[in-house]
Amino acid sequence: MPAQKFSAKAHTRSNYTYSTFHKSLLHENNSEDYALRHIYSLENTKALLQAWGWTTEQIKDGIDYATIDVYRNFVYLHIPNKITKRGEIIKIRGISRFISKADFVEVLISRSWQKADPYKLQPGDNWDDLIARGNTGDFYEIKLYKHEVECTCHAYSGLEKAFAQDPVATKYLMLHYQAQGQIPDKHIFAAWQYLGATTLQQYEYCWLERAEAAMREQKKYSWQSDPEPERDTELIDW
């Protein structure tokens, strides 16, 4: 039985010659095609087409015929304007253009931001922990660090590996006004929203406030649990 194909047809057409960089993103084990699956996905491509004024119907007609070729510095997207369906030639809306990787990073971040749900979070054991509840009763741990947030879910580690495979996409992630290098996992954006932050800079401010509050709390607690000042027991004993 052939291994399950994780990568979209748009990334693996046999009648098209992909760029050298694209080929470097394709792995023997498809599940390791992290950049193609997480950044240059069909879903992100559909969102881009929609942003460019394509109707849902036009996207539906064309997306199965798309070729997405990822170069080192940009992406080439092709959808033919004629397709053959049941032996008939049909005209559809086509496209043939280069796209900035910044556009893919932007759409990835905004889709992730929209999917983020702070109401699915609950406090963890420590002030710098949050717990995200999945739909199937599973739990993910969200760890709040001073300059970034990490999550234990699969999407987070997949996105992390995706950006590690693509230095130019990483550059745009660093330059993005909102993410500023933060891996854009939906649980992490949920944590930002939970804390009241929209950008990494605001998150860092919220983190500091949270850290200080936790410290004050700890001091108060240690003060309260201090034993009574000791009498001069030596005198009593003697």
Interface with Zn ion by CB under 5 A: which residues? 151, 153, 156, 185, 187
In the complex, minimum distance from the CB of residue 77 to Zn ion, in angstroms, rounded to a whole number: 28
Q: How many CB atoms lie within 10 A of CB 142?
A: 23
In the complex, minimum distance from the CB of residue 173 to Zn ion, in angstroms, rounded to a whole number: 16
The owner of tokens 């253009």 is 97
Task: Check: CB of residue 46 under 8 Å from CB of residue 64.
Answer: no
Which residues, listed in sequence order, are joined to residue 142 by a DSSP beta bridge?
130, 151
In the complex, minimum distance from the CB of residue 156 to Zn ion, in angstroms, rounded to a whole number: 4
Cβ-based nearer residue to Zn ion, 54 or 203:
203
Rg (CA), the chain: 25
Cβ-based nearer residue to Zn ion, 105 or 151:
151
* Residue 220, both tokens: 């108060």
Cβ-based nearer residue to Zn ion, 66 or 116:
116
The number of helices, as runs of H, and strands, as runs of E, in the chain is 10, 9
Cβ-based nearer residue to Zn ion, 69 or 185:
185
Which residues, listed in sequence order, are joined to residue 143 by a DSSP beta bridge?
129, 150
In the complex, minimum distance from the CB of residue 159 to Zn ion, in angstroms, rounded to a whole number: 9
